[in-house]
Structure 1
Amino acid sequence: MRAARLLAAALLLCAVAGCGGDGVEPKQWAKVVCTALAPWRNDIAGLTAKAQQQLGAAKTPEATKTNIVDLLSGAETASEKARAGVDAAGVPRVADGKKVAEQFTASLTKARDAYGNAKRTVSGLPTADAKTFYGKVTAAFATLKDEYEHSAIDPAHVGPAELQQAFDEVPECR
């Protein structure tokens, strides 16, 4: 009886964890990925809008620095949360599913790291000379833009046709 319970528990665990190496159905995988990405996009948009308001009101380089560091920290955290959510989606059951899953996770890792690099750069900038400070902030954001663009991945153009179709059909991805 105890062996039967252990076997049942193991089977349940495998069903939940996706054991067996078969991967996750494409629609389910797309749903989980898009569910992880939607709040991330909203967070980034919200943080950007908030930062624009705060930066407009900032009167000193110190206040600007605080606002920018807060924005970048929030974007870094949101990107990590999205990365973890996408990673938790597992591997889609399609040709090269592992590669596709790794591309999505790597993309979000690069986005997270881009925000983190910019945060550390701006955080370390001296504010005594406003002109120099703002010039270096501009340079930090140019680097962020470049790093962020290199992280971009378009779910509609990744993976085999059945996965692209899943992204098109799943309501969470619209």
Structure 2
Amino acid sequence: MRTCRAATAGKLTVVLATFVLTLAACGGGPSPRAWAASVCEALTPWRAEINKLTSSTQQQMTAKTTPGQAKENLVRLFGGAEQASETARRKVDEAGVPEADHGEEISQGFQASLGKVRDAYGRARTTIGGLGTGEPTAFYDGVRAAVDTLNKEYDASALDTSRLSSEELKKAFDEVPECR
């Protein structure tokens, strides 16, 4: 009797697993409009934070501070940008995969781009954190080099949308109020 129950339970598990996989394969992701709204809700505060941090970094680069103060401030600023980028990446991940042409690729592309930005800020934070502050000229040269590298990595992280087009998502991003 135990064998029969175990076999039935095993078959039921396989049937339920197949049913769940079938449902997942048939969609169930957010509509293009809902996904676009979620993505814009994730990116809007991220953009604002990055703009604020960029402005603060520029001010820090021209401020009359000691190398030690500049190092502390820049490490904090880049750490904030790194965290803001990860928060945005995580929220895009949590938005799911939109039910749209190339939805999986587009969602992954957004996440990968934000991950590259996060990593670029993290490397800049680590590089500046490792600079010595005893010689101001050498310190600020190191900071400039780190910021130049950051800018190049940031530019290279841009999402290539030429291959990932979805008319449904383009329309959704144009229409939802969260993206305006």
SS in 2 for 1:20: helix
1:44 to 43, 46, 50: 50
1:149 to 147, 155, 174: 155
Quick one: distance in 2 between partners of 1:134 and 1:141? 10
Instruction: Answer yes or no: is 1:168 the counterpart of 2:174.
Output: yes
Q: Give, in angstroms, the shift of residue 46 of structure 1.
A: 1.8
CA contact (8 A) 1:68 1:122 kept: yes
| Ranges in structure 2 where 5+ consecutive residues have no aligned partner | 1-19
Q: Give, in angstroms, the shift of residue 108 of structure 1.
A: 0.3
Instruction: Answer yes or no: is 1:20 the counterpart of 2:24.
Output: yes
Shift of the 52–133 alpha-carbon distance from structure 1 to 2, 3 Å rule, reads same
CA contact (8 A) 1:155 1:167 kept: no
What is the TM-score when the length of structure 1 is the normalising length?
0.83
Q: Which of 139-148 and 51-60 deviates more?
A: 51-60
Q: Give, in angstroms, the shift of residue 57 of structure 1.
A: 4.0
CA contact (8 A) 1:55 1:67 kept: no
Which residue in the other structure is 1:97 paired with? 103
For the pair shown, the structure with the greater C-alpha radius of gyration is 2
User: Between the two proteins, what is the percent identity of the paired residues?
Assistant: 49
Instruction: Answer yes or no: is 1:82 the counterpart of 2:64.
Output: no
1:131-146 mapped onto 2 (5 Å cutoff): 131-146=137-152
Shift of the 39–154 alpha-carbon distance from structure 1 to 2, 3 Å rule, reads farther
CA contact (8 A) 1:156 1:168 kept: no
Quick one: distance in 2 between partners of 1:30 and 1:134? 41
What is the TM-score when the length of structure 2 is the normalising length?
0.80
Quick one: distance in 1 between partners of 2:170 and 2:95? 16
Counterpart of 1:172, as a letter, is E
What root-mean-square deviation, in Å, do the aligned CA atoms of Structure 1 and Structure 2 show? 2.0
Q: Give, in angstroms, the shift of residue 78 of structure 1.
A: 0.3
Which residue in the other structure is 1:115 paired with? 121
